[in-house]
Amino acid sequence: MIETFWPHERVARSLTLSTMAFALSSGVFYTVSTLYFTRVVGLAPTTVGLGLGIAGGAGVLAAYGAGRLADRVGAHRVQWVATALNGLAMLAYTAAHSAAAFVVVACLAVGMRSASGSAKQAMLARWYVGPDRVAVRARLRVVTNVCIGLGTVAAGAALLADTAAAYQAAMLAVAVLLLAAVLPLARLGRVPGVAARMLEHRSDDGAAPSRGPSPLRDRTYVASVALNSVLAMHFGLQTVGVPLWIATTDAPTVMVSVLLVLNTVVVALLQVRASRGTDDVRRAGLTVRRASWLLAGACLAYALAGYGDVVTACVLLVVAALAHSLGEILGEAGGWGMAFELADPRSAGAYQGLSQTGYAVASMVAPPLVTATAIAHGTVGWVALGVVFLAAGAGAAALVRDRRPGAHAGAPDAAADDAPDLPAGVS
DSSP string for residues in 291-353: HHHHHHHHHHHHHHHTTS-HHHHHHHHHHHHHHHHHHHHHHHHHHHHHHHHTS-GGGHHHHHH
Q: Which residues contact 152 (CB under 8 A, 6 or more apart)?
A: 27, 28, 30, 31
Weakest mean pLDDT among 97-111, 207-221, 233-247, 343-357: 207-221
- pLDDT reported for residue 336: 93
Q: Where are the domains of the chain?
A: 2-199, 215-399
Q: What is the DSSP letter of 202?
A: B
> What span, in angstroms and rounded, lies between the C-alpha atoms of 231 and 392?
6
Asked if 2-199 and 215-399 have one fold, the answer is: yes
Share of the chain above pLDDT 70, in %: 89
| Summary count for the chain: helices (H), strands (E) | 17, 0
Can you tell me whether residue 419 is helix, strand or coil? coil
Quote the CA–CA distance of 238 and 256 in Å, as a whole number: 9
CATH of domain 215-399: 1.20.1250.20
Q: What was the pLDDT predicted at 186?
A: 83
**Cα 59 to Cα 365: distance, rounded to the nearest angstrom:** 13
Q: Is 76 helix (H, G, I), strand (E, B) or coil?
A: helix
Q: Are 362 and 235 in contact (CB under 8 A)?
A: yes
209 SS3 class: strand
Banded model confidence at residue 365, pLDDT cuts 50, 70, 90: confident
Give domain 2-199's CATH number out of 3.90.10.10, 1.20.1250.20, 3.30.720.110, 3.40.640.10: 1.20.1250.20
The dihedral over CA atoms of 297, 303, 305, 307, expressed in degrees to the nearest 10, equals -140
Task: Calculate the dihedral angle through the C-alpha atoms of 188, 333, 235, 103, rounding to the nearest 10 degrees.
Answer: 30
Judged against a pLDDT cut of 50, whether residue 265 lies above it is answered with yes
Distance, in Å, from the CA atom of 161 to the CA atom of 166, rounded to the nearest integer, reads 6
- pLDDT-based confidence at 208, cuts 50/70/90? very low
Query: What pLDDT, on the 0 to 100 scale, is given for residue 427?
Result: 30
Q: With 0-12 CB in 10 A as exposed, 13-18 as middle and 19+ as buried, what is 277?
A: middle
pLDDT tier at 198 (50, 70, 90 boundaries)?
A: low
Number of C-beta neighbours around residue 72 at 10 A: 13
CA distance 119 to 122: 5
Confidence of residue 346 (pLDDT cuts 50, 70, 90): confident
Mean pLDDT computed over 237-255: 87
The CA angle 16-22-27, to the nearest 5 degrees, is 120
DSSP structural state of residue 422: P
Residue 367: what pLDDT? 85
Q: What predicted TM-score, i.e. pTM, was given to this entire model?
A: 0.81
Confidence of residue 409 (pLDDT cuts 50, 70, 90): very low
Mean pLDDT of the chain: 85
Q: Could you tell me if residue 130 is left (phi over 0), alpha (psi between -120 and 50 degrees) or otherwise beta?
A: left
User: Cα(14)–Cα(184) distance, rounded to whole angstroms?
Assistant: 5
**Cβ-Cβ contacts under 8 Å for 119 (sequence gap 6 or more):** 66, 67, 70, 75, 76, 78, 79, 82, 349
Task: Give the separation between CA 265 and CA 262, rounded to whole angstroms.
Answer: 5
* pLDDT reported for residue 176: 95
| Pair 313, 306: CB distance under 8 Å | yes
Whether residue 28 is predicted with pLDDT greater than 50 in this model: the reply is: yes
What pLDDT sits at residue 417? 33
Q: Which of 121, 98, 110, 120 is nearest to 37 (CA)?
A: 98
